[in-house]
Amino acid sequence: MASRSRRPERRQEPLSRERIVGVAVELLDTVGERGLTFRALAERLATGPGAIYWHITGKAELLAAATDAVVAAAVSAGPAGPTGSGGSAGPTGAGPSPQDAIRAVALNLFDATEAHPWLATQLATQLSRTPWGTVAPRIFESLGRQVRAMDVPEAHWFTASSALMHYILGAAGQNAVNAEGTDTPGSEVDRDEFLDTVSTAWEGLDPDDYPFTRAVADQVRGHDDREQFLDGIALVLAGITALHSPGR
Amino acid sequence: MASRSRRPERRQEPLSRERIVGVAVELLDTVGERGLTFRALAERLATGPGAIYWHITGKAELLAAATDAVVAAAVSAGPAGPTGSGGSAGPTGAGPSPQDAIRAVALNLFDATEAHPWLATQLATQLSRTPWGTVAPRIFESLGRQVRAMDVPEAHWFTASSALMHYILGAAGQNAVNAEGTDTPGSEVDRDEFLDTVSTAWEGLDPDDYPFTRAVADQVRGHDDREQFLDGIALVLAGITALHSPGR
DNA sequence: ACCTGAACACCGTTCAAGT
DNA sequence: ACCTGAACACCGTTCAAGT
């Protein structure tokens, strides 16, 4: 006779940092950065705004924790997506090459910024405001291990890993479609419309000031973001090999 | 008998978009993003908050305009700084090579993010929120022209230029010390303290989870940011040459 | 056309008071 | 120890009213 829901009273779980951060990510995904307020958060958690401050020091920490949670999930996820699976395995077939592993991490981060439109901006904020935080090491470590596996000499580990990380962050930042207010954040239609908007804008630039940009404007239309992103990764990897490979 | 100041009544110049944006940049530089409010802006302009809305649609446009102004100044500035001048000129000595020009643009942007701690975050915001704006073309154009001058085939112009831009934006973003609240934004002491903080934090990471990051933590201490940044540029340029140079 | 400044609807954060 | 919710000090933006 009493209610018999599978999971007992989802409502009344005690407040916790994890639960708060989880709802914060949900809010960021659905209503954007402006929609993440302590009042909205409190309402979804069926509590008052003040209660949140017992677990989190303030909004800065909340955003940092949300960013960290999403990045942690991205770098520890397995290889994903159709474009990423075409890489060559090692000669003996004993698992992915370091280059493949780098591509997998990079694509996971790239996809995360598309799934969470707020992520790119928050990554920039977190890395520039608190670079000693947990976000940078997570990314740096997962890339650096593979750089080491590529037999890059130790003196160049830092430069090579940094270059990879910077390219990934820069590219992810620019490709993130910030669809604040759009109801279908990552749909195909939005995507094409978006690329078309950029392409058209570039074609309309002053011919005297922007000859190059105008010349490539048409290449923007309908290009595959992930493929373009991987081309850039290949370029950086080629640079690492050219400058730092021991066999040269 | 009347007042005879050199420049007549600096106070009473009419309000204009340029004047508003100029003061906005000043406020961003001195009191940070949080300190840029319409009330503070109005006070410095000796007017009321509402007056600003006659020239600017809102805070979003204000931040976009401030970012655009700083980027425009950076990409159109001449080669600057001691580290950038050591490059090789063309064989006939007839001006800088495309690679030198790329280094100059990159360094100017890098230096701009250090002079304006808010720039890195704003670049990410502007590029992800309104990529059809003026900021991306400015950077893209100044890099792309040089890529073309490097004799990269047209099919690879977009990839090569994008890779350069993304690396620069990512690196500039991470190296920007966001000294909000610090009185001396870019001082040497701050710089060393800052690097020391990062290095120490990385050394304190879990040895099982972060072996690579710990291994390179010491390299962070006391390293030269601009040199490190240029090493990354060299790496990307090497990748462009390796993959896209016609003579291979 | 351009400016004024009060007013509105919010927001992050605090804190006495509860359990 | 943990939560409540009213209150405080803001903030972006609007708009009737002025010149």
Residue B127: give its domain's CATH number: 1.10.357.10
Q: pLDDT digits over A153-184, tens only?
A: 999 999 999 999 999 999 998 877 655 544 45
Q: List chain A residues with CB under 8 Å of B127.
A: 173-174
Query: B 11-50 residues with CB below 8 A of A?
Result: none
Instruction: With respect to residue A31, please indicate whether it lies within any of the assigned structural domains.
Output: no
A240/B235 CB distance under 8 A: yes
Q: List chain B residues with CB under 8 Å of A212.
A: 140-141, 144-145, 148, 157, 161
* Residue B221 structure tokens: 């201490």
Query: B 68-97 residues with CB below 8 A of A?
Result: none
Span A42-48, mean pLDDT?
96
Instruction: With respect to residue A86, please indicate whether it lies within any of the assigned structural domains.
Output: yes
In which band, very low, low, confident or very high, does the pLDDT at B208 lie, cut at 50, 70 and 90?
A: very high
Instruction: With respect to residue A39, please indicate whether it lies within any of the assigned structural domains.
Output: no
Q: What is the mean pLDDT of chain B?
A: 87
Q: Is B28 exposed, middle or buried (0-12, 13-18, 19+ CB in 10 A)?
A: buried
A180/B129 CB distance under 8 A: yes
In which band, very low, low, confident or very high, does the pLDDT at B80 lie, cut at 50, 70 and 90?
A: low
How many domains is chain B built from?
Answer: 1
Q: What angle do CA B90, B232, B142 make, to 5 degrees?
A: 55
B232/A148 CB distance under 8 A: no
B4 or B89: whose pLDDT is higher?
A: B89
pLDDT of residue A83 exceeding 90, the answer is no
Q: Chain B residue with minimal CA distance to A32?
A: B129
Would you state the pLDDT for residue B248?
A: 53
A242/B241 CB distance under 8 A: yes
Instruction: With respect to residue A104, please indicate whether it lies within any of the assigned structural domains.
Output: yes
Instruction: With respect to residue A145, please indicate whether it lies within any of the assigned structural domains.
Output: yes
The percentage of residues in chain B with a pLDDT greater than 70, rounded to a whole number, is: 83
**CA of B26 vs C1' of C5, distance in Å?**
25
CB pairs under 8 A between A and B: 209
CB B171 within 8 A of CB B232: yes
Long-range contacts of A71-78, Cβ-Cβ distance < 8 Å, separation of 24 or more = A71/A109, A71/A112, A71/A119, A71/A123, A71/A135, A71/A138, A71/A139, A72/A134, A72/A138, A73/A112, A74/A108, A74/A109, A74/A111, A74/A112, A75/A105, A75/A108, A75/A109, A75/A138, A75/A139, A75/A142, A77/A108, A78/A104
A194 or B68: whose pLDDT is higher?
A: B68
In which band, very low, low, confident or very high, does the pLDDT at B12 lie, cut at 50, 70 and 90?
A: low
Name the maximum alpha-carbon separation found in chain B: 80
Would you state the pLDDT for residue B115?
A: 94
Q: pLDDT digits over B97-126, tens only?
A: 999 999 999 999 999 999 999 999 999 999
Q: pLDDT digits over A191-246, tens only?
A: 778 888 899 999 999 999 999 999 999 988 878 889 999 999 999 999 999 998 87
Instruction: With respect to residue A70, please indicate whether it lies within any of the assigned structural domains.
Output: no
Task: Please tell me which of A9-23, A80-94, B99-113 the model is most confident about, judged by mean pLDDT.
Answer: B99-113
Cα(A100)–Cα(A90) distance, rounded to whole angstroms? 10
Would you state the pLDDT for residue B90?
A: 47
Q: Chain B residue with minimal CA distance to A117?
A: B128
CA dihedral for A162, A167, A168, A170, sign (positive or negative): positive
Instruction: With respect to residue B27, please indicate whether it lies within any of the assigned structural domains.
Output: no
B48 touches strand C (CB under 7 A): yes
* Residue A203 structure tokens: 């074609």
CB B83 within 8 A of CB B226: yes
B157 touches chain A (CB under 8 A): yes
In which band, very low, low, confident or very high, does the pLDDT at B93 lie, cut at 50, 70 and 90?
A: low
Nearest to A120 among B124, B210, B212 (CB): B124
Nearest to B213 among A140, A212, A220 (CB): A140
Instruction: With respect to residue B114, please indicate whether it lies within any of the assigned structural domains.
Output: yes
Nearest to A170 among B145, B167, B213 (CB): B167
Nearest to B170 among A121, A157, A167 (CB): A167
Q: List chain B residues with CB under 8 Å of A145.
A: 211-212
B181 touches chain A (CB under 8 A): no
Q: Which domain holds residue A210?
A: 82-182+191-244
Span B150-171, mean pLDDT?
97
Angle between helices A135-149 and A157-175 (to 10 degrees): 120
DSSP code of A96?
Answer: B
Angle between helices B59-76 and B135-149 (to 10 degrees): 20
Cα(B126)–Cα(B77) distance, rounded to whole angstroms? 21
